[in-house]
Structure 1
Amino acid sequence: MDALFIGSLTLSLLHALIPSHWLPFVTIGQTERWSLRQTLTVTAIAGLAHTVSTTLLGVLVSLAGWQLAENYHDLSERAIPLLLLALGMWYLMQHLRHRHGHDHGDPGAAGMTDHRKARSHSALLLSLGLAMFLSPCLEIETYFLGAGATGWEAVGLVALIYNVITLSGMLGMVTLGRRGLQQVNPHWFEHHENLITGLTLVVLALFNFFIEF
């Protein structure tokens, strides 16, 4: 049980430090002018979707064996890179549109600002939540498999450790990341925010295509 506890704790902590689990929230939150509280809320919701899908898969693995996770591997391996890539391309398009339309005002746009912001926030939350839900941590499933052979108490322990450590780690990294971005010249970031966010998401997507976590 000690080995199960230590292994789950270590893997969960390392998992939370993966850039694709917190950097998109930092860059998107800065670009969308979210407060730290809003950014952490979105991170918590998307992170919970991630840990819930991992836990659900883990329970099934503990019952049905490792083969279930192997069959799911290809889908989860492609889901998050594709969604990150789509979000990244959207932000790059916004950057290009901003450059072309910088000198053209829209007198009717002001009345639609709040509505568009709300719609954008909901769409981003859905996209990020879906990306995280479809990419469960497969490495921790080995501990669920071992816990399944020990009993439901061990399965519950692995699930508790993974959920608490992963969510806490993601929130902590987002907080540190936000503080780091505050050191960047806000005027410079304002003119390059969509480009920075888009490139960050595209690089993470490409990185995830070739690096298996």
Structure 2
Amino acid sequence: MNEILFGALILSILHALIPSHWLPFVTIGKTEHWSEGRTLTVTALAGLAHTVSTSILGLIIGYAGYELSESYHELAESVIPAVLLMLGLWYLMQHIRHSHAHEHIDPSTINGKSFKALLLSLCLGMFLSPCMEINAYFLSAGALGWQALGFVALIYNVVTLAGMILMVWVASRGLRLVNAHWFEHNENLITGLTLIGLAILNFFIEF
């Protein structure tokens, strides 16, 4: 189970760092002249909508893993690495094609909306765009039982949400800890290489 939890942790950290998960909130907050507190609150609510929808989908997929629990070794040793590898290659192709596969929010669509309408739009947009990469770990965790599934869901929700809030806080204070433009331009490349690395890790290494 350790490799599943480790992979879930790495992907959760990666998602928190991806600009599409936090940069729009910084941009919108500045455009709307929000206070730091309001920007962080909106980030937390929209981020929670995103992680909850991903977790709901993950739990459904995890149930499939639970049903396949007797075939866990085959699932862990072949299916999970294969899924991660295919996702990784897909993201690399998106990078080559310069497509922003991780874009959840378009800041240009917010003009003229009231705060309540804007908040609803952000939460709905994030809820309707769950992240698929983590679901390979939900599938594998489901084969180990509901406790493992709960751990993966907890790691994903806490780490991703905390990371999004931290990145918005850092960016809103003008600290240049990361090159957001470079990260945004190469996020598909980074995601793809991370998924391929995790596929190799899951295939060759047992913790």
> So what's the TM-score if we normalise by structure 1?
0.63
| Residue pair 2:64, 2:142 contacting (<8 A) in 1 also | no
Show the counterpart of 2:161. 167
| Residue pair 2:141, 2:152 contacting (<8 A) in 1 also | yes
RMSD: 3.3
| Cα distance in structure 2, aligned partners of 1:138 and 1:56 | 12
Show the counterpart of 2:152. 158
| Cα distance in structure 2, aligned partners of 1:208 and 1:9 | 18
1:84 match: secondary structure: coil
Show the counterpart of 1:33. 33
| Residue pair 1:9, 1:162 contacting (<8 A) in 2 also | yes
Identical-pair percentage: 58
Consecutive unaligned residues of structure 2, counting only runs of 5 or more, are: 66-78, 80-99, 176-180, 193-207
Show the counterpart of 1:88. 108
Q: Summarize deviations over 1:156-211 as a string: whole Å, max 9, x none.
A: 00000000000000000000110118xxxxxxxxxxxxxxxxxx9xxx8x9999x9
| Residue pair 2:110, 2:118 contacting (<8 A) in 1 also | no
Q: Counterparts in 2 of 1:62-81, with a 5 A limit?
A: 62-64=62-64, 81=103
* Pairs aligned (count): 156
Distance 1:166 1:25, change over 3 A: same
Show the counterpart of 2:197. none
| Cα distance in structure 1, aligned partners of 2:10 and 2:191 | 18
- Which is higher, the Rg of structure 1 or of structure 2? 1
| Residue pair 1:50, 1:134 contacting (<8 A) in 2 also | yes
Distance 1:179 1:126, change over 3 A: same
8-17 vs 57-66, which deviates more?
57-66
| Cα distance in structure 2, aligned partners of 1:124 and 1:32 | 10
| Residue pair 1:54, 1:136 contacting (<8 A) in 2 also | yes
| Cα distance in structure 2, aligned partners of 1:79 and 1:14 | 15
Show the counterpart of 1:44. 44
Show the counterpart of 1:124. 118
Show the counterpart of 1:138. 132
Consecutive unaligned residues of structure 1, counting only runs of 5 or more, are: 67-77, 95-118, 182-199
Distance 1:180 1:166, change over 3 A: same
| Cα distance in structure 2, aligned partners of 1:84 and 1:207 | 17
1:139 match: secondary structure: coil
Which structure features the higher share of helix residues? 1
| Residue pair 2:105, 2:126 contacting (<8 A) in 1 also | no
> So what's the TM-score if we normalise by structure 2?
0.65
